[in-house]
Structure 1
Amino acid sequence: MKRAVNVDSIIEITKWAVNEYNKGGHCLKFEKVLKYEIIAINGLVYQIDLEASNGGLVGKYYAQVYDYLGKRTLQEFKPLLQANSLLEVDASIGILKPVLGVDAHVAIPN
């Protein structure tokens, strides 16, 4: 069941998730919410795709927050795999090859 929710509350929960993640020694800065879903399971589970920056580089991340009676828990926070990565693996020769003009010559061990 989809719940109607205030967008400001989603942004606040997402900022909270980034701050919780940063307590582990990370330095991300919240940029924007890309999409979200709320699931009601003995409380609320927020599944959020977001953008955050780190030193000027913007990345996409997934956060899952569980909220039960106002007590939040960050259940998961991880980078999303991006199709438009600056490097891609060329499996035929086992090296990273540049995409978008980035110079990279790093061998991948077998």
Structure 2
Amino acid sequence: MRVTITARHAEIDDDLRAHAKDLVEKVAKLVRRPHHAQVVFTDAHGEAGVEIEVHVPRGRVHVAKSAAADHRSALDLAIARVKRQLLDEKETPRTRRTIRRSKAPR
């Protein structure tokens, strides 16, 4: 899976980039085949913000935004939100639109 990490109006050190990549890859294991993920760090009005997008099969995108005093705690909040979204999707039953031929009435 490809993970893109960008910083908008913020300075991010390499340790935080590696930490973000590890967390996103760990959370993405909840999905069968994740396509890619994007993490954006922002600084606005003295508040650190993080936005995470995880793209999964069938065109679905899970987005989580959070803001906190520092980037590390904002990242943890956003990871928790994406994890909850992915777990909810995993537990949602899928509908079967077609009837299998072996169970179709004759």
Structure having the higher helix fraction is 2
TM-score by length of 2: 0.36
TM-score by length of 1: 0.35
Structure having the higher strand fraction is 1
Q: Which has the higher contact order (CA 8 A, sep 6+)?
A: 2
